[in-house]
Amino acid sequence: MHSNHLLLEEPIRMASILEPSKASFFPAMTKIVGTLGPRSRSVEVISGCLKAGMSVARFDFSWGDSAYHQETLDNLRTAVKSTKKLCAVMLDTVGAEMQVVNKSEKAISLQQDDNVILTPDKGQEASSQVLPINFDGLAKAVKKGDTIFVGQYLFTGSETTSVWLEVDKVNGNDVDCKIKNSATLAGALFTLHASQIHIDLPTLTEKDKEKISSWGVANKIDFLSLSYTRHAQDVREAREFLSKLGDLSQTQIFAKIENVEGLTHFDEILQEADGIILSRGNLGIDLPPEKVFLFQKAALYKCNMAGKPAVVTRVVDSMTDNLRPTRAEATDVANAVLDGSDAILLGAETLRGLYPVETISIVGKICAEAEKVFNQDLYFKKTVKYVGEPMTHLESIASSAVRAAIKVKASVIICFTSSGRAARLIAKYRPTMPVLSVVIPRLKTNQLRWSFSGAFEARQSLIVRGLFPMLADPRHPAESTSATNESVLKVALDHGKASGVIKSHDRVVICQKVGDASVVKIIELED
Question: What residue ranges do the domains of the chain occupy?
Answer: 23-96+202-372, 102-195, 376-525
Distance in angstroms (rounded) separating the CA atoms of residues 492 and 478: 10
For 376-525, the fitting CATH number among 3.30.300.30, 3.40.50.150, 3.40.1380.20, 3.10.620.30 is 3.40.1380.20
Strand 343-346 relative to strand 54-60: parallel, antiparallel, unpaired? unpaired
Q: What is the pLDDT of residues 242-297, one digit of tens each?
A: 999 988 999 999 999 999 999 999 999 999 999 999 999 888 888 888 898 999 99
Distance in angstroms (rounded) separating the CA atoms of residues 201 and 196: 15
3-state SS string for 158-222: CCCCEEEEEEEEEECCEEEEEECCCEEECCCEEEEEECCCCCCCCCCCHHHHHHHHHHHHHCCCC
Radius of gyration of the chain from its Cα atoms, rounded to whole angstroms: 24
Q: Which fold has domain 23-96+202-372?
A: TIM Barrel (3.20.20)
The letter for the amino acid at 524 is E
As to burial, measured by CB atoms within 10 angstroms (0-12 exposed, 13-18 middle, 19+ buried), residue 23 is exposed
Q: Which fold has domain 102-195?
A: M1 Pyruvate Kinase; Domain 3 (2.40.33)
Q: What is the pLDDT of residues 489-505, one digit of tens each?
A: 888 888 888 888 888 89
Please indicate whether residue 481 or residue 71 has the higher confidence score (pLDDT). 71
Residue 160 has pLDDT above 70, yes or no: yes
**C-beta of residue 38 within 8 angstroms of C-beta of residue 351:** yes
Mean pLDDT, range 399-428, rounded to an integer? 92
Distance in angstroms (rounded) separating the CA atoms of residues 30 and 339: 12
Q: What is the pLDDT of residues 73-112, one digit of tens each?
A: 999 999 999 998 999 999 999 988 888 988 888 899 999 9
Peptide bond into 390 cis (omega under 30): yes
Instruction: Give the pLDDT score at 156.
Output: 55
**C-beta of residue 331 within 8 angstroms of C-beta of residue 485:** no
Q: What is the pLDDT of residues 317-342, one digit of tens each?
A: 999 889 999 999 999 999 999 999 99
**C-beta of residue 438 within 8 angstroms of C-beta of residue 460:** no
The candidate with the shortest Cα–Cα distance to 314, out of 286, 350, 276, is 350
Helix (H) or strand (E) holding 282: helix 280-286
In 291-364 the beta strands, taken as DSSP E runs, fall at 310-313, 343-346
Torsional sign, CA 27, 30, 503, 476 = negative
Q: What is the pLDDT of residues 212-230, one digit of tens each?
A: 999 999 999 999 999 999 9
Contacts of 217 (CB under 8 A, 6+ apart): 245, 246, 247, 248
In the chain, % of residues over pLDDT 90: 63
Peptide bond into 441 cis (omega under 30): no
Give 355's DSSP letter. Answer: -
Helix (H) or strand (E) holding 226: strand 223-226
The letter for the amino acid at 464 is V
Instruction: Give the pLDDT score at 485.
Output: 43
pTM of the shown model: 0.90
Instruction: Write b or e for each residue in 471-498: b if 16 or more Cβ atoms lie within 10 A of its Cβ, otherwise e.
Output: bbeeebebeeeeeeeebbbeebbebbee
